[in-house]
Chains A and B, each alone.
Chain A
């Protein structure tokens, strides 16, 4: 059982929905990013998604693209991203951390070495956007053997015939991408998302978390009401991009978490 599994079990026992927050590791620089990550659990974040910066984020909109560029320009590396997790673990043993990004930086480090270092650092799960089930041998299977959750994205194009294949080697939770599009794009209506979540749930016992396009506490609440939780990324990253001080960024996050938890 990973921290992710334990967190969702605890939330379920309390009848609470999950709030998942995404920030880019090293955005705008290592120290600021570290302070934000350290503040997320206190702001009501149940699961931290930590972005691995990559030069070519082909599934991300401009907000996340620019966050990655800021992080890389300030010298962020995969090693420093693992260091953020190590530093968090020194003070927080419970909040799950999921690394989210693209395969090449991991493949470049070497899958075996990366998994060893990620587990030792206290990482709990991975979301790797460009690894569909057809490429499970690359990282998904080795990651699960190493004790990490491999969290898959399900999308509106994932039809019923394909769903079982997508769910097969998924663990931790399922991230339902509510629109066909890139991160930060327009939001889906909660009324449309509900039936989709039900469709995914018919194919898995895992919690289903919904993301893409959620920018306000009200939207977080509406989505969390029809799912097991909500993910917010671009809206938080926009606050960081605007140069807001850490406490203001965390206050914004607290508002979103409050929305999701009110569901």
Chain B
């Protein structure tokens, strides 16, 4: 790894929006002027103390930040090795990390005078967060959601509608998250003047990957401070689940230059990372390509056609990954592993039984990897896993897999 050749891992992206070869601005000409304008406005906001003052106020009073860093004592005893901490982002308003980013983008949209907000959503968490903040600010909200996901995530669809959002079921392509993103981009191309596209993860054209990372970095910043308070030092390992990768990027980013901190991203291995492609592990099972405005690792066939991923967790069900993760993977600063549905379900149940925390299926993947490595690590080794969402939305899926009849 050329690690000693790089002074800092935190300087990206470059002026072309690249992290090494990844990222960029692969969009149609209609959107290009909008993306350049967004970049300009974000650069101004980023260095404006009043912007961050508004964010800090709402993070505290509306979202409930800082989220606790919680020592999972019984889980630690059970695993018999490293000391396991959970970053409790599932306690945020709306139940996941998604709102950290949505707040930032909506405040920016308001500064830009945009009145109409569009978003894509998979499991519905980003859609709910966007609908929530739009309700708070009285903005029009349109959420694109794959028709398949609308069916299997009915409670979130109803939440969004209660919050005043229009949910548009996407039937183009195969009606999944990537198709929802395509349709959101089509909406944006059509409604360029008044519309702000609020992307839910660290993907899309520059400046989205960097901007979403910056907003989610509150997770890692708080973790640093809280770990110093709890243990007087840095953690040894930080672990997070990855679909697009925004909760992971948010946890990882403030630690990138701390060489002693081991960084592990956990992809959705579905039914196993092999030729059947029944997984969503872009890094461990894909290759670089261009989709949704950026170059990154993608699940694709030999002819460059995008493949559908599969995971028990709808929130990880995306054939790409944020470009900064692709770069961290290639230069070796972060490790990426995969966890199967079965392993995630075991972790889900263990968290319920030992800690009284019902996790979302996404962080259950991260927890499953903690269960693999913690027993082999010394007792003074500090692990932080990002508990990025709560499991309320997933109990139906889990019940089905455990053979429990919810209709009773």
Contacts and interface: CB of A to CB of B under 8 A. Distances in A.
A182 B303 contact: no
A184 to B, nearest CB: 11
Interface string B44-79: 000000000000000000000000000000000000
B11 interface: no
Contacts of A60: 186
B275 interface: no
A174 B202 CA distance: 34
B33 A162 contact: yes
A130 B190 CA distance: 16
B261 interface: no
A72 interface: yes
B302 A108 contact: yes
B192 A56 contact: no
B289 A157 contact: no
A153 to B, nearest CB: 5
B290 A158 contact: no
A181 B29 contact: no
A58 B289 contact: no
B185 A58 contact: yes
A173 interface: no
B31 to A, nearest CB: 8
Contact of B292 (A58, A132, A153, A156): A58
B27 A77 contact: no
Contacts of A162: 32-33
Contacts of A129: 28
Contacts of B160: none
A132 B178 contact: no
Contacts of B30: 59, 153, 155-157, 177, 180-181
A17 interface: no
B27 A181 contact: no
Contact of A108 (B173, B182, B193, B289): B289
A182 B32 CA distance: 15
B291 A181 contact: no
B29 A155 contact: yes
Contacts of B303: 77-79, 105, 108-109
Interface in B285-339: 289-293, 295, 298, 300, 302-306
Interface in A181-236: 181-182, 185
Nearest to B307: A55
B178 A180 contact: no
Contacts of B9: none
A155 B190 CA distance: 12
B26 interface: yes
Contacts of A106: 304
B199 to A, nearest CB: 13
Interface of A is mostly: loop
A131 B293 CA distance: 9
B34 interface: yes
B172 interface: yes
A42 interface: no
Contacts of B293: 130
A70 B400 CA distance: 35
Given A54-B305, A55-B306, A181-B190, A107 B289 contact: yes
Nearest to A106: B304
A59 B186 contact: yes
Contact of B305 (A72, A134, A181): A72
Nearest to B183: A58
B189 interface: yes
B304 A105 contact: yes
Contact of A107 (B182, B189, B290): B290
Contacts of B34: 157
Given A105-B305, A155-B29, A59 B172 contact: no
Nearest to A69: B173
Of listed A55, A102, A105, A162, residue having the most chain B CB within 10 A = A55
Contact of B32 (A107, A108, A134): A134
Interface of B: 16, 24-34, 172-173, 178-179, 181-182, 185-186, 189-193, 289-293, 295, 298, 300, 302-306
19 contacts: A53-B305, A54-B304, A55-B173, A56-B306, A58-B181, A59-B189, A104-B290, A104-B300, A105-B304, A105-B305, A107-B289, A107-B290, A130-B290, A132-B32, A157-B29, A162-B32, A181-B190, A182-B186, A182-B190
Sort A-B residue pairs by CB-CB distance and give the 5 closest, nearest first: A108-B304, A105-B304, A181-B190, A155-B30, A130-B26
Given A59-B185, A182-B186, 20 more contacts: A56-B306, A58-B185, A58-B292, A61-B186, A103-B26, A104-B300, A104-B304, A105-B305, A108-B302, A130-B27, A130-B293, A132-B26, A135-B24, A135-B25, A135-B26, A155-B28, A157-B29, A157-B32, A162-B33, A177-B30
